[in-house]
Chains A and B, each alone.
Chain A
Amino acid sequence: MSQYVLRRLMIAIPSLLGISVVLFVVLALAPGDPFAELATNPNVPPEVQAALRAKFGLDDPIYLRYLHWLNAMLHGDWGFSFVSRMDVDTLILQRLPATLYVIGSAQILALLIAIPVGVYAATKPYSLFDQIANTLAFIGFSLPTFFTGLLFILIFSVTLDWLPFVYSTDIKATGIRWVLEMIRQAIMPVAVLGLFQAASMTRFVRSAMLDVIRLDYVTTARAKGLGQAKVIIKHVMRNAMIPVVTLIALQMPAVFGGAIVTEQIFRIPGIGSLLITSILSNDTPVVMAVTFVFACLVVLFNLIADVLYGWLDPRISLR
């Protein structure tokens, strides 16, 4: 097993290098520069703009800039943001808690809905419950998060005035009040993201269960006289979870990305909104770092998925 993990890790390194080259080249070729806004400011002489470009190495050839970046990265230096002149790692660490809290909660909510609903619907296919679950799931993943987000704001903030729609990282209360406030302000973004995730996941869990539930060994287990619950949980679910794990693992980075929209709508100071504002202001070091973190997440979750396969089905890691 450890050899298997090691092998996977060795493959990850060249992939990450390749990803970083591609990202860097694409960003370097993208038009615009971080000092765009200065161009219309009459106070800023053109020489100053030129000096800033030179100071931040924007006029160096691409390969040289890449090598600089790689060298710094290997020494644990993520560079600094051109726009806020702050270290990129500080910037990302500042944004991480909000992202993890909201996206983590949304993902847990999605799992809590998707697995029981999907499993139950699969045990009774085409029943009334299954049909209702299916319909809701279809509606759920056809509605984009920017639409549901706005709908939630209009209903719960504007009309009913129950929930705030601006996420605040600076809640004045302490103790239990603080916890309650944190929960209150996360309800809408978590619901929006979580329900969207749950919808597609429910469909997936259901079909994965249906694939397994018809196999001969399940019939055998039933024939041996095992109870329905035991058959479903011990025999069907464990095998059905293999594709589900793949889906969840590979979806994690996409969730970080998909949350960009939600973070914008609710003003959550997360990594997604950092990425968007950095792209808009051509803040290359931050865009590079955030996208590279996403790339690392993809590789990492792939690895986790592989390890989980090994645990769910030991035959996989032996090959």
Chain B
Amino acid sequence: MLDKELRSMIGDVKDGRMNRRAFVQRLAAVGLAAPAAYQLLALGGVAMAEGPSAYKPTKRGGGGALKLLWWQGPTLLNPHFATGTKDQDGSRLFYEPLACWDPDGNMKLVLAAEIPSVQNGLLAADGTSVTWKLKPGVKWHDGKPFSADDVVFTWEYTKDPATATVTSGTYRDLKVEKIDDLTVKITFPKPTPFWADAFVGAGAGQILPKHQFADYIGSKSREAPANLAPVGTGPYKFVEFKPGDLIRGVINPDYHMANRPYFDSIEMKGGGDAVSAARAVIQTGEYDFGWNIQVEDDVLLRLEKGGKGKTIYAVGGDTEFIALNFSDPNTEVDGEKSSMKTKHPLFSDPAVRKALSMLVDRDSIKKAIYGRAGRTTANFLNGPEKFVSKNTTWEFSIEKASKLLDDAGWKPGADGIREKDGKKLKLLYQTSINGPRQKTQAIVKQACQKAGIDVELKSVVASVFFSSDVANPDTYPKFYADLEMFQIPLSQPDPSQHMRRYHSRYIASKENKWQGTNFTRWTNKDYDAAIDAADSEMDPVKRAALYIKCNDLMWQDTVFIPAMHRLKVEASANTLRPVISGWANETDNLFDWYREE
């Protein structure tokens, strides 16, 4: 669909010449999913309709106990100290944000009363501020009223460098002020098209009660009793917490959503591994829900036969990729390998990069490893739908790859390995230790071998690979290899944070102690310009086009070879109706869960 046409349609809806339903239907006719259409409307300045809820129970409680199994148990219950999604999940049982994301990536109101938009005057047309109206009558679990003060306090708490919260990145550049008891205004330093980061979602959005944390801001943050015994506004009240083992909660009889929650009590058990978690939910039915079931698909299919549960999937934007190193990992300049002063001796030939991309057999990887949990893709950016490029294709062909290399002058040597100008096509391919990753490595290596490329495989313990330890040569930002494979989660239905990472400004180097996020050391002026433009582009259609352009630039230059678009996999009892979003944490939509008998 043409940009112009789409924009005039959004204009029609704004002016009331077309209704929302007709708009969505027209977009659906050209292959754009309803949620994406709604988002276009929302970010285009039209109030976003809340996603429909499938919640059926007509009264609060009566659902018995809900038993959740998290094979990595939450270790702390302050969401702003969370070291992983497990901690955000545990905290989210009790704390709440202003809004969260539903399975389609629509905004869902939690503590806010209204979704901000230009129409209702809550969102500034130039994107420099957003005003949130809070739900009246919401109470903390200890009976104190929830108000704008708590929202402002959460901002003060998280942005304080001495508190050292892991969410400070979201809050430190904003200004949050109280307008009245039920209104807060966020001011951004520059136009911010994705204004729904602060106070939204489980990652950074959970709001803390001022009266519990006011005395523990800054360096005393660790001493707050509420770090271990949260007092929130959520559907369940805190009862007990044993780090890594157990969280217990009971129904909040004053919960602010009608007829919710359904369950009388909740238990989150931690520990063990993903396979046995799948077994306890799917096969024996000891638990109702199992989190993040990273298990081979044929194992799951076997468990599902005649079992008491099933697997469920949620589509988000997570991509398992192979990154190419654009600098030379084997030459040291000023005490630094993979330095920007070097060029990769083999990858400086685009034919080599293109050939490699053709040697990744996505179909086999899907069949042998991911099954229902993966989708093949040529794109680095795989969601939300409106940001996904339709201009790219992938192909697996050993013949074509070989021909490409032949034409570029890479001829097989006596040992069968291709070479040119005395340089042999020998690559080091590293990843973190993880079953599916090692299998993917093997599949890629085999195809490369057939095409005359020698690939040496290396796997590093995840805790080292993903660490920020400057002294260790095996971390992914140092990238002392030719290829490396992993996944960076896309935790919000907006690609801005994610795509910004590969701007040449953020190249990881000795100078910034390898804290830069662009580890491929790829630089492209067009990419940088598109990212900078998208960061303050308020026109949703133009903005989507910019991110699509960024994706296509990466695809043309073969910076990342996407191996699989990964879905979230969960195990659920047959009778349970969990609501899982690929754009949110598993417990984010917990208030909508119920059981169908």
Cβ-closest chain B residue relative to A283 = B75
Whether A42 and B83, one on each chain, are in contact in the complex, defined by CB atoms closer than 8 angstroms, is no
Whether B84 and A37, one on each chain, are in contact in the complex, defined by CB atoms closer than 8 angstroms, is yes
Interface-lining segment among A14-22, A207-215, A269-277: A269-277
Bound complex: CA of A80 vs CA of B246, how far in Å?
Answer: 19
Residues of A within 8 A of B76 (CB): 83-86
Whether A84 and B243, one on each chain, are in contact in the complex, defined by CB atoms closer than 8 angstroms, is yes
Residues of A within 8 A of B489 (CB): 40-41
Whether A37 and B161, one on each chain, are in contact in the complex, defined by CB atoms closer than 8 angstroms, is no
Residues of B within 8 A of A153 (CB): 276, 279
Say if the beta carbon of B190 comes within 8 Å of chain A: no
Bound complex: CA of A277 vs CA of B272, how far in Å?
Answer: 10
Say if the beta carbon of B228 comes within 8 Å of chain A: yes
Say if the beta carbon of B164 comes within 8 Å of chain A: yes
Interface 1/0 per residue, B429-459 and A, CB below 8 Å: 0000000000000000000000000000000
Which one of A53, A157, A264 contacts B272 once the chains associate, using CB atoms below 8 Å? A264
Say if the beta carbon of A316 comes within 8 Å of chain B: no
Closest-CB distance, A302 to chain B (whole angstroms): 31
Interface-lining segment among B120-128, B402-410, B462-470: B462-470
Which one of A34, A48, A80, A280 contacts B168 once the chains associate, using CB atoms below 8 Å? A48
Residues of B within 8 A of A85 (CB): 76, 78, 81, 222, 227
With A31-B472, A41-B166, A45-B169 known as contacts, the answer to whether A83 contacts B463 (CB < 8 A) is no
Cβ-closest chain A residue relative to B75 = A84
Residues of B within 8 A of A40 (CB): 466, 486, 488-489
Closest-CB distance, A153 to chain B (whole angstroms): 8
Which one of A39, A55, A158, A281 contacts B468 once the chains associate, using CB atoms below 8 Å? A39
Say if the beta carbon of B278 comes within 8 Å of chain A: no
Interface 1/0 per residue, A152-170 and B, CB below 8 Å: 0100011001001110111
Which one of A34, A36, A267, A269 contacts B242 once the chains associate, using CB atoms below 8 Å? A269
Cβ-closest chain A residue relative to B477 = A39
How many residues on A have C-beta within 8 angstroms of the other chain's C-beta atoms? 53
Say if the beta carbon of A51 comes within 8 Å of chain B: yes
Closest-CB distance, A282 to chain B (whole angstroms): 6
Residues of B within 8 A of A49 (CB): 468, 515
Say if the beta carbon of A1 comes within 8 Å of chain B: no
Say if the beta carbon of B245 comes within 8 Å of chain A: yes
Which one of B78, B161, B287 contacts A166 once the chains associate, using CB atoms below 8 Å? B287
Closest-CB distance, B493 to chain A (whole angstroms): 14
Say if the beta carbon of B300 comes within 8 Å of chain A: no
Residues of A within 8 A of B515 (CB): 46-47, 49-50
Say if the beta carbon of A72 comes within 8 Å of chain B: no
Bound complex: CA of A158 vs CA of B76, how far in Å?
Answer: 33
Given contacts A50-B515, A169-B242, A277-B244, 4 further A-B contacts (CB under 8 A): A36-B468, A42-B169, A49-B468, A52-B164
Q: Which residues of B contact A (CB under 8 A)?
A: 69, 72-73, 75-76, 78, 81, 83-84, 161, 164-170, 203-204, 222, 227-228, 240, 242-246, 248, 267, 269, 271-273, 276, 279-280, 283-284, 286-287, 461-464, 466-469, 471-472, 474-477, 486, 488-489, 491, 497-498, 501, 512-513, 515-517
Pairs A–B under 8 Å by Cβ, sample size 29:
A31-B474, A33-B468, A37-B84, A39-B466, A39-B475, A39-B476, A40-B466, A41-B166, A45-B169, A48-B165, A81-B243, A83-B76, A94-B245, A95-B245, A153-B276, A161-B284, A164-B286, A165-B279, A165-B284, A166-B269, A166-B272, A166-B287, A264-B272, A265-B276, A269-B244, A269-B245, A274-B244, A277-B75, A281-B83
